[in-house]
A and B are shown apart, each in its own frame.
Chain A
């Protein structure tokens, strides 16, 4: 594999990322799946990078899941998105930064639709005004939160206490990166590095000392695929998609998986448990799974944040093997303790995947 060839492609997929003053759009599901990630993003931007970012409590779903599941009409999605833009306008911001890949895709798709079909923009303005009395400006810059971390990846590395390096061998950790479908597949030029050889996560991994693994099913869906999972009868298909990826990456012996989509870390994490339970098969070392992280969690680890503050205790796959490799200290007794020390409860013993 020739990395120079990837660099040749990456240079064609660069995009403008605003330097400061962001209007933050949270994800519907990330706060439940990986509850520390969004808090960590805000912590990094405010405390480490001294950026102005507005976390608006009035912000709602973008309807992306409903839209991609064919239960929300496009006109409704446009009007909801228009409301977000109205909130951003009212708050005095011009740079929209969604936390969710699907939201990023929704915003990008609707802005493109309004550009190509200006009459739909006018209709949406009318719908929003009738429904709420609000008016809005279009954002000047729309990027995903992973783009922001990518932009400041070297600053994070410079401030970091840990690197993506196996302390026992001194070798870079071998890392699978997985971007969500809605990050660049719809609009390759809106994703850093494009859709075929995306660089947004690979760039972070490089800056933080790791080595990206390119494996045959790298481009394959994580298994979420919306209707693959949301329609209960299709869940076997969702599981088989994830399994295909695990089987493909296993020979490369990855130390971890890094993701930037709400669904991808969830399914790549949880389905490993299901496969272990159903087939007795695990894909990591010593009967463990391959730890799966969001990019904010990895940035937090690099910066030396407490793993339990990052919410890593809610992962299905134990993260301790990865923490040990990086030389990150942690207190096992505090893993399932809440912020005020209360016992959050421990998961039951798994039959096939070894608990620590």
Chain B
């Protein structure tokens, strides 16, 4: 029986492990945290359905359990050796795992909102991130200001750390727009009297039903969408926040006070991605995610035979697409390990960096 090591026990890692095990491979799933689920474990409800994130986690865990995937929790890879077409991986616990293929599912990290200094995260008491708000939702606590007041006005800032050259991230994080719409609705559901303002550059409602959610937010929940990027937030004496923003549709500058400001933080390449790239000698793309063999046809493939990618380690993605990608990666590995000629197809190399002004 051939062995596969999957690194990262989030959405993609779990689903790919289950599919590979179902295909008859012996699968070791390495997760650095003490539970599976990755960042999904921190998410309360999901767009656009409003289903609990835990339902998806349970679905994925059922697959992992059913197919007897060998799960290594609180484990990390400290050493990798390549021997012809096999690999030896050593974990922090000292386990030596011999395998025929590696699947990297190292996911993403959240953008550190402190780097958008002008918004005051970590400085102003009532500036939180979308991840912080999810934690409040998950805990069942009321949404309150730092002084315990129910906010009467809440602002959401889109594209925090995404599509932002100053922040060093020119790419779109794909999930924040619709997360902002979802969270605005949830705040409104909890505090019906609250006024909600979403400040955006573009609203990219590309996924199935996203547009419907956006429409519902406006029509049924009276969420105000203002097209303009915040220039700054400042703290008032009472702890509320004074926002300066241009309403670019009206062509006028705006100054508005909110009691709570939510920063919709984007996705960045994970620390795990950088670490595994270093251990394996893999290339990173311009944006710091893994560089795939081909942008169109081989997004699950690395430049090292036997090393594959799945999920958000190659770029931001939705849960739906991460699951699809995991299954695709499982198929790609199966094709590779079975010696099928499909695995040997080549594309003419393309240059990723021509898109960017300098590198």
Contacts and interface: CB of A to CB of B under 8 A. Distances in A.
Interface of A: 1-2, 4-6, 8-9, 194-197, 214-219, 251-252
B235 A1 contact: yes
Interface of B: 114, 117-118, 120-125, 232, 234-237, 242
Contacts of B123: 1-2, 5-6, 9, 197
Contacts of A9: 114, 117, 123
A252 B118 CA distance: 21
B165 to A, nearest CB: 14
A203 B246 CA distance: 33
A217 B117 CA distance: 16
Contacts of B235: 1, 214, 216
Nearest to A252: B237
12 contacts: A1-B124, A2-B123, A5-B120, A5-B123, A9-B114, A9-B123, A195-B117, A196-B232, A197-B117, A216-B234, A217-B234, A219-B232
Contacts of A218: 234
Nearest to A219: B232
- A contact patch SS: loop
Contacts, number: 41
B114 A2 contact: no
Nearest to B114: A8
Contacts of B232: 196, 219
B234 A8 contact: no
A196 B117 contact: yes
A216 B236 CA distance: 6
A196 B120 CA distance: 9
A144 B24 CA distance: 69
B234 A5 contact: no
A215 to B, nearest CB: 8
Contacts of A217: 234
Contacts of A216: 234-236, 242
Q: Which 6 A-B pairs have the closest CB atoms?
A: A5-B122, A5-B123, A196-B117, A216-B234, A216-B242, A251-B237
The CB with the most chain A CB atoms within 10 A, among B117, B120, B121, B235, is that of B117
Contacts of A4: 122
Contacts of B236: 216
B122 A2 contact: yes
A4 B235 CA distance: 16
Contacts of B234: 214-219
A113 B234 CA distance: 33
Nearest to A4: B122
A233 B30 CA distance: 69
Given A6-B123, A9-B114, 20 more contacts: A1-B124, A1-B125, A2-B122, A2-B125, A4-B122, A5-B114, A5-B122, A5-B123, A8-B114, A9-B123, A194-B117, A195-B117, A196-B118, A214-B234, A214-B235, A215-B234, A215-B237, A216-B236, A218-B234, A219-B232
B247 to A, nearest CB: 19
Contacts of A2: 122-125
Contacts of A219: 232, 234
A295 B120 CA distance: 26
A4 B119 CA distance: 15
Nearest to B118: A196
The CB with the most chain A CB atoms within 10 A, among B125, B234, B236, is that of B234
A214 B239 CA distance: 12
Nearest to B231: A219
Contacts of A197: 117, 123
Nearest to B242: A216
A147 B124 CA distance: 27
Contacts of A5: 114, 120-123
A251 to B, nearest CB: 5
A74 to B, nearest CB: 23
A218 B117 CA distance: 14
B145 to A, nearest CB: 13
A189 to B, nearest CB: 12
